[in-house]
Structure 1
Amino acid sequence: MSRTARLIGTVLGVGYVRPAPGTWGSLIALPWAWLLHVLGGFPLLCLAVVAAFFKGWWATGVMTKGAADHDPSEIVVDEVVGQWIALLPLSYAAWSMGISVLVMWPGWIAAFVLFRLFDIWKPGPVGWADRRADALGVMLDDVIAGVFAALGVLVLAGLYHGVM
Structure 2
Amino acid sequence: MLKLINTVFYVGLLRPAPGTWGSLVAVLIGWAIEHYLGFLALLVATIAASALGFWSVGEALRDRPGEDPSEIVIDEVAGQWLALLFPAFGFWSRGLSMGVDLHMVWPGPVAAFFLFRLFDIWKPWLVGRADRRHDAKGVMLDDLWAGLFAGIVSILLAGLYHGIVLGLMK
> 3-state DSSP class of the match of 1:161?
helix
Aligned partner of 2:155 in structure 1 is 154
For these two proteins, the number of residue pairs brought into alignment is 161
1:1-164 to 2 correspondences below 5 Å = 4-67=1-64, 69-102=66-99, 103-162=104-163
Which deviations, in whole Å up to 9, do the C-alpha atoms of 1:53-108 show, x marking residues without a partner? 11111111122222255210000000011111111122112222232303311122
| Cα-Cα RMSD | 1.5
What is the TM-score of this pair, normalised by structure 2?
0.89
* C-alpha separation in 2, matches of 1:142 and 1:68: 18
* C-alpha separation in 2, matches of 1:39 and 1:23: 24
- Shift of the 8–136 alpha-carbon distance from structure 1 to 2, 3 Å rule, reads same
1:5 and 1:58 in contact (8 A); partners too: no
Identity of aligned residues (%): 54
Higher Rg of the two aligned structures: 2
* C-alpha separation in 2, matches of 1:8 and 1:139: 13
What is the TM-score of this pair, normalised by structure 1?
0.92
In the alignment, structure 1 segments of 5+ residues that lack a partner are none
In the alignment, structure 2 segments of 5+ residues that lack a partner are 166-170
2:88 and 2:98 in contact (8 A); partners too: yes
Letter in 1 for 2:148: V
